[in-house]
A and B are shown apart, each in its own frame.
Chain A
Amino acid sequence: MTLESDVRVMSGTGDTGLIFRATNLGTSADAMNGYYVGIRDSTDQLLLGRMNGTWSEITTASVPIQSGVNYRMKVVAAGPDIRVYIDDMAIPKLHVHDATWSAGAVGVRAHFASAAFDNLSITR
């Protein structure tokens, strides 16, 4: 599964990005099972974690993030192999093995932030 989208942080102290392999969603912040990858301008970070009703961070990378700027975010998930790309589509910024969640919906998420998304595509 490959998920791509333009992601732009508009304002706020939190982060924003894409979710994948999401099931059992609810309306509160971490109410889902699945993965989330986000960018945060306040700490210049790219972060990847998973939820099962609560948030568990898996890893982060230092990436300069400016509010108001579109970043092309791509997630390539094949079994437990998960790669995350930002703008540079040749070299993943994050690469982990995590077998907690294997299937589910995809989506967008903002966490203590305002955000914009565009040009989303999914390849299964």
Chain B
Amino acid sequence: MRFGSIAPPYNGSADFEDDYSDNTDDGWAEYSMSGSDIVAFANAYLANNGPQNFNASSKALAGDETWTSGILIADVTLRSSGDAGIMTRVTNAGHGANEALGCYAAISSTGKVVLELHDGRKNIEIASAPMAVTIGRKYRLKMSNSGSTVKVWVDGVQVFDTVDSSAHKRGQIGLRTNFADVTFDNVKYTRTVDKDRFVDNADNGWKRFGGNFSLTGGAYYLNNANGTGTTGKSSW
């Protein structure tokens, strides 16, 4: 059992992964300015917002609004000019280009990597770095949220370090395009914070070794004995 399934209750699974090998968009909710312009096809996820399509922007969100800290990775390939990228801590999403709160890390065909904070009305660029972006080439974007900071990598190279993102504390993960035709693939989100406040008076996800355990009043007790309780994975 995953530790993430203990408490508090989560609506989604602890982590999220999609390589679109089933050619479906199960698990995703799409927000787009003109109908269904995001489709799972040929083992990838295609968004068609290029200049010729007049769609401007779309988003696809997955996961749980309670997610706080984690690492999101996705392959992003621009198939036209424009920008596209990955989102974290997304809440209050709507169909418009500015209609969501959250963090957005993107590559742009103008030759840069950007980090934006979206407040639901404006998309505020808080970091930018020049980078040659080739249309048709796949880039692996990675964004890590931990507490109030966000970090961004492209193809394993860190671009932005510990940028303050305290305006956005939790939310879903997402993919977003802006005036671009884009292919997304190999989306993977790993939550990095697990909590147990023992409010359910249960130690689901724990293993007991020796000792005399009890749970009462929302705390975990070890009574008059030698004992060890563990949780997590041997790879941690």
- Interface check B128, CB cutoff 8 A: no
Question: In the docked arrangement, what's the CA distance between A124 and B144, Å?
Answer: 11
Interface of A is mostly: strand
Q: Within residues 179 to 236 of chain B, which ones have a CB less than 8 A from any CB in chain A?
A: 192-198, 206-207, 209-211, 218-236
- Interface check B3, CB cutoff 8 A: yes
Least CB distance from B228 to A in Å reads 4
What chain A residues lie within 8 Å of B229 (beta carbons)? Answer: 107-109
- Interface check B80, CB cutoff 8 A: no
Given A19-B230, A103-B236, check contact A116 B219 (CB 8 Å): yes
A to B contact number (C-beta, < 8 Å): 113
Given A26-B209, A28-B210, check contact A11 B224 (CB 8 Å): yes
What chain B residues lie within 8 Å of A76 (beta carbons)? Answer: none
Which of A23, A31, A105, A117 lies at the interface centre, i.e. has the most chain B CB atoms within 10 A of its CB?
A105
- Interface check B109, CB cutoff 8 A: no
Closest to A22 in B: B230
Residues of B near any A CB (own CB < 8 A): 3, 69, 146, 192-198, 206-207, 209-211, 218-236
Q: Which 3 A-B pairs have the closest CB atoms?
A: A107-B230, A110-B222, A27-B210
